Structure 1
Amino acid sequence: MSAPTHPRTHPAATGGVDIRLPWWAIALPAVAFVTLLLLILNPADAQAAAGDPTIGHILERARELVLR
């Protein structure tokens, strides 16, 4: 008499890895990255760049290249 077998439903049972991230685990770092990038590329709002025109010029050129 043979015993009934049960199908494996979890990939971890077969040696695979099942990782599921919530939507905010991807969205929050992406929003933070874009926010920091915009702060860096906008020299008008940067107080530290106001004293050195070279840094402001470089940041302005980078912003122009990104927005094209």
Structure 2
Amino acid sequence: MSAPTHTRPHPATSGGVDTWLPWWALALPTLAFITLLVLILNPADAHAAAGDPAITHLVERVHQLVTR
């Protein structure tokens, strides 16, 4: 016994784009790429932030627990 098939009421279009991306969907990856590229080209400007020792200790403990 065969199942009935459903057809589309309108023929499929092979033309333009049906969906639009928001502006940030292209802007954010582009900004991230440019930022990383600048850091690779000039690594002297990439300084590590001096953090609180308690936060550093907490991050190390979480890392140890996760890698266990």
Q: What is the TM-score normalised by the length of structure 2?
A: 0.42
Q: Which is bigger in relative contact order (C-alpha 8 A, separation at least 6)?
A: 1
Q: TM-score, normalised by structure 1?
A: 0.42
Q: Which has more helix, going by share of residues? A: 1
